[in-house]
Structures are given as structure tokens and as C-alpha cells.
Amino acid sequence: MSDSLLDVRNLRMYFYGSSQVVRAVDDVSLSVREGEVVGIVGESGSGKTATALSLIRLLPPNARIVSGEILHKGKNLASLEETELRKIRGAEISMVFQDPMTFLDPLMKIGDQISESISLHQGKTSDLKVKVVDSLRAVSIPSPEKVLDYYPHQLSGGMKQRVLIAIALSCEPSLIIADEPTTALDVTVQGQILELLKTLVRKRRGLSLLLITHDLGVVAEMCDRVYVMYAGKIVEEADVSSLFKEPKHPYTQALLTAANSIYFVGREMVGIEGVVPDLTNPPSGCRFHPRCQYAMPICSEKEPILIDIGTSRAACWLYPKK
């Protein structure tokens, strides 16, 4: 895949506890092409954030990348020196978090936070202030000259998220990883942020977006291609229309049925019984088998691997291997 901007191969990232190991990312392969919006969708605890943080190695001390490659423009981020990596983080790849306050400094003015980020990656420039104002304008913040002097707490949740996106954009990255960027926001504000992200991807040629969400609606609206994650693994990969028209993996099918039963009138409500498994001791074989209505003996015995099924890929024993 030569046109890949990011190519992740067989990535494993574990959290080490005092007595247990959480296999949060377990043999995940994914790619993002130039200009593409790629989604990772999955329920709480499936390892989405863990995957995102692994990609730029923004990991807590108890986490370790156990194996795999993260290829970006000819470099393997999984083994890159921390100093080298720092140049890539924020400049080539930036991240937008669910809670802006995990990133914004509450005691620092908005303008200063953005200038700091710009000068860190571009060095001191004389037109710094102009650049800062431009970056706020680019994310549709009204009266940016005023907002420069605000502290984070003076902004609403939606505005803070815009500032975060402005910071992420300020260094003209080629990839933005957005982890649930709108989950904490009201729907109308979420709508505004989604519109903003769509416009940015459309306008900035080559900008790619890796969007992490548990909301199939957001996926349907935003993504070109989607990875479905379950219990630390990718269980399906598909372009967005195939995913919604012909979901292959029973988990994807069940998720979609559940979502549809809520969003479209007249459908019988159907959920999935059970819970996302504990990743310290995941089920044997296919990790979805305890909740799967099609489970067969082999499903608890052997782990299925991702195989091509039409234009999609899924890891499920229902599909015969060619």
C-alpha cells in the first residue's frame, strides 16, 4: 500500500498492572491514506483510545508497545527515538481529545497556548500573532482577536473543542487523530464541530482524519472507511457504504441493528446481551463468541483472522476461507 500515509501492522500494546496484563491493543493492523477520513468504531473499553495513543506513543508509564510497526512516511514510529517522535507529534500528526481540558492549560490564555504550539514547530516567526488569529478564524471562532485573551474556562465546551482543533491544525499536520471529539457536546454543537471537520478535510488537500467514535451516526456522516473494534481487535474493515449496507461480522450487524432500532421508527428494539469482555482475560477463540447468536464450536476454539469478503474484510468463522 504505497499511498498510505499511515500503515499500522500487527500492533500490540499492553497495560501492565501489578498482577494483570490488559491486552488493550491486540494485533491491530490499519492504514490511513492521504485525504481519507477513517473511522474506528467500537464500544466502551474496546481499545479505541489505547490504539490512538499508541500511534503517537502518548502512553502512560504502565503501557508498552509489545510488537508491531507504525509506518509513517518511511519511519517506524514504534521504534523511533523520543526526540525524533516529538518532532512528528503535533507537526505531522496531531491529536484532538474528547475532553479539551486534558490538553488545554487552565492557567494560560488561549492565544498564548496557540502561539506556543506554533513556535514549537515552526520556530519564532514575526507574524506569529497573525498566524494565531488566522488559526482561530479557520475553526470559525467568532471575534478571534478577543478570544486570544480568554482563559479556557471562559469558553463553552464547543468553543474549547474548536480551540483544540485550531491547535491541532496550527502546524499543518498531515494527519489528525480525533478521539471522540464531539462525545461530550450537545447535538447541535456536535453538528457544528462535525461540519467544521468536514470542511477542513475538504479544503486542506491531503489532510487525513482518523476519527474515533462509538457513534455509528457520526461514522455514517463522516467516514470514508471504517474499522470496527471489539475487545482489542479489529473485527471488520469496510468502506462506509458496505459497512452499513452489508455488515459482515455478527458484532457489526448487531450494533447496526441496535442503532437502527433506536433511530428508525417501527423497528423492534434489539440490543446485544452481555458486555464487552474483560481484557485481562478475554474469551478464547473469537472474543465475540459469548455474545454471538451464530456461535459454533470452532468459535470458542480458534481465533478467526481477517479475510476478504467481497470488498470488506472480517474476522469470523461464518465465512469460508477460500
Partner 1 sequence: MRILAPLLEVRAVKKYYPLGRGLLSISKRAVHAVDGVSLRLETGTTLGLVGESGSGKTTLGRIIVGLIHPTEGSVMFEGQEIFSLRGKEQFSLRTKMQIIFQNPEASLNPRKTVRHVLTQPFLLHRLATRSEADERAYHLLEQVKLTPPELYLDRYPHQLSGGQKQRVAIARAIALGPKLVVADEPVSSLDMSVKASVLKLMNEIQSNLGLSYFLISHDLYMTRSISKIVAVMYAGRIVELAETDELFRHPAHPYTQALLASTPVPDPAIARGVSRNVIGEPFSPIDPPDYCRFSSRCPYKQDKCLQRSPQLEEIRKDHWVECFFPL
Ligand X SMILES: Nc1ncnc2c1ncn2[C@@H]1O[C@H](COP(=O)(O)OP(=O)(O)OP(=O)(O)O)[C@@H](O)[C@H]1O
Tell me whether residue 102 is exposed, middle or buried, using C-beta atoms within 10 angstroms of its C-beta: 0 to 12, 13 to 18, 19 or more: exposed
Residue 70 or 227: the one with the smaller Cβ distance to partner 1 is 227
Q: Is 54 in the site for ligand X (CB under 6 A)?
A: no
- For cell 450537545, name the residue: 186
Residue 194 or 207: the one with the smaller Cβ distance to partner 1 is 194
- Residue 131 burial (CB count, 10 A): 16
d(CA 180, CA 102): 13
Print the binding letters for residues 223-262 with ligand X: x by CB under 6 A, - otherwise: ----------------------------------------
Among 31, 49, 161, 213, binds Mg ion (CB under 5 A): 49
Could you tell me if residue 284 is left (phi over 0), alpha (psi between -120 and 50 degrees) or otherwise beta? beta
User: What's the longest Cα–Cα distance across the chain?
Assistant: 68
Q: Is 54 in the site for Mg ion (CB under 5 A)?
A: no
Residues β-bridged to residue 228: 41, 236
Is 279 in contact with 23 (CB distance < 8 Å)?
A: yes
Residue 194 or 229: the one with the smaller Cβ distance to Mg ion is 229
Among 262, 296, 298, 305, binds partner 1 (CB under 8 A): 262
Interaction residues for partner 1, span 265-284 (CB under 8 A):
265, 269-273, 275-276
Residue 53 or 104: the one with the smaller Cβ distance to ligand X is 53
d(CA 289, CA 26): 17
Interaction residues for partner 1, span 136-165 (CB under 8 A):
142, 156, 158-159
Nearest approach in angstroms of CB 81 to partner 1 is: 39
Instruction: Enumerate binding residues for ligand X (CB under 6 A).
Output: 15, 22, 24, 42, 44-50, 60, 62, 214, 279
